[in-house]
Amino acid sequence: MASKKYKPSQETLSKSRRTAKSWSKGSSEKQFYAKKKQWDEEEDAVPNRAVSMSPRLKNIQQKTFLPSENTFEGHVIDSTGRSFIVQRTSEEINVGALYDCVVSRSVVTENPASTLVAVGDHVLCRAEPVSGEIDLLPGVIIKITERRTKLARESAGNDGIEQVIVSNIDQVIILMAAADPFYNRRLIDRYLIAAELGNVEPIICINKMDLMDETFVREDLAMYAEFLGIKTLFLSAEKKRGLETLSPVLQGKTTVFSGPSGVGKSTLVNMLIGEEAQITTEVSAKTQKGLHTTTFSKIFPLPEGGYILDTPGIREFGIWDMTKEDLAYYFHDFDEYRLECRFTPCTHTHEPGCAVKGALEEGWIDPERYESYLNILETLER
């Protein structure tokens, strides 16, 4: 689990050690700085100190004890591996400012048995004293609030522990291509379940419609809209066709785009973000020069309101911690038949008197969906 692996930076550790030495536990930061000011004044009042501070030491002391702005609320917009980039949302001052935050050793989280900090999280932070020339303001994450929604996968080697890839988003666009590469219905079905598990609305979006017979693709995927009520969009980023159906869906929402590589995600996202937002992103990347090698802002504001969130791990979100028995509940096209099976529980595979198989044989259930069901069932352990 990330919380176990997390190590605060050396700087934070030594700072907190120094602080702990000179000030007792439980005092507020404000009190601390008030006291510090008093000490400084007392020090200044002594005219000829026997031992003068070396310039280097003095520098360190100033770095450590400059007053900070106490706590603020923020939004995790990126992870650098070493730390997290938090955008301040508290209104009073510095709203929108970016902080490079480590996680406090006594951090509190409202998301047990889960990734400690994920992109999209709403957090409470403590601003740290500013030292010298900095690229980003320093901060410490002290609390992570409950995630409203999330896309997750099971973390490698940790049974039953979810790894959150992104949180607090409204919807996920399951982006596939009509061809080159041909859309993968198994993958669509997996993504649909993962989205439902995380309480995120899924939208199926088929790009590169210029490469295929439109009628064929629309008919092949018609059941998603007709039987499952999932918004399904067909477009061509290259030919700029169908984009007008996408914009209203994104407006005012926080959306992530997910799908295999080569389907046109970058092309589409670049088109949607628009020139203005791209300029803003470039500027912020320049002012934070040299600190992080990753592409900078991962949350892009849309010209008509709403955000697109771009995160590298998003291709890999999936189904985790699900029992074989539970899987059928996520195949809503089975809903009507599930309750009619002779045995409960029924895996809808070999049981006699299985109403789901009956419906399949009579053509009420799409055979491709049943294939998906079997496919996922095989991968579940319990």
Site residues (vs ligand GDP, CB under 6 A): 207-208, 210-211, 236-238, 261-267
Residue 341's binding partner, choosing from Zn ion, ligand GDP, none, with beta-carbon cut-off 5 to 8 A by kind?
A: Zn ion
What are the contacts of 238-241 at 24+ separation with CB within 8 A? 238/208, 238/210, 238/264, 238/267, 239/210, 240/271, 241/209, 241/210
Residue 97's binding partner, choosing from ligand GDP, Zn ion, none, with beta-carbon cut-off 5 to 8 A by kind?
A: none
Helix (H) / strand (E) element for 140: namely: strand 137-144
Please identify, using beta-carbon distances, which residue of 129 and 260 lies nearer to ligand GDP: 260
Under a CB-based contact definition with an 8 Å cutoff, are residues 141 and 125 in contact? yes
According to DSSP, residue 332 is labeled G
**Of the residues 197, 346, 360, 376, which one makes contact with Zn ion according to CB under 5 A:** 346
Number of amino acids touching Zn ion (CB under 5 A): 5
**Of the residues 348, 370, 373, 376, which one makes contact with Zn ion according to CB under 5 A:** 348
328 binds Zn ion (CB under 5 A): no
Please identify, using beta-carbon distances, which residue of 100 and 310 lies nearer to ligand GDP: 310
In the complex, least distance from residue 380 CB atom to ligand GDP, rounded to whole angstroms: 29
Residue 379's binding partner, choosing from Zn ion, ligand GDP, none, with beta-carbon cut-off 5 to 8 A by kind?
A: none
In the complex, least distance from residue 208 CB atom to Zn ion, rounded to whole angstroms: 38
Q: Which of 125, 100, 155 is nearest to 316 (CA)?
A: 155
341 binds Zn ion (CB under 5 A): yes
In the complex, least distance from residue 80 CB atom to ligand GDP, rounded to whole angstroms: 22
Residue 18, amino acid: R
Helix (H) / strand (E) element for 62: namely: helix 55-65
Alpha-carbon distances of 199 from 118, 167, 195, 234, 311, rounded to whole Å: 16, 10, 6, 24, 18
Question: Count of CB atoms within 10 A of residue 209's CB?
Answer: 22
Alpha-carbon distances of 235 from 121, 208, 244, 268, rounded to whole Å: 32, 6, 9, 10
359 binds Zn ion (CB under 5 A): no
In the complex, least distance from residue 339 CB atom to Zn ion, rounded to whole angstroms: 10
327 binds Zn ion (CB under 5 A): no
| Burial of 268 from C-beta contacts in 10 A (0-12 / 13-18 / 19+) | buried
In the complex, least distance from residue 362 CB atom to Zn ion, rounded to whole angstroms: 14
Residue 10's binding partner, choosing from Zn ion, ligand GDP, none, with beta-carbon cut-off 5 to 8 A by kind?
A: none
140 binds Zn ion (CB under 5 A): no
Residues 6+ apart with CB under 8 A from 379: 319
Helix/strand/coil for 9: coil
Residue 89's binding partner, choosing from Zn ion, ligand GDP, none, with beta-carbon cut-off 5 to 8 A by kind?
A: none
In the complex, least distance from residue 275 CB atom to ligand GDP, rounded to whole angstroms: 18
Which residues make up the interface to Zn ion (CB under 5 A)? 341, 346, 348, 354, 356
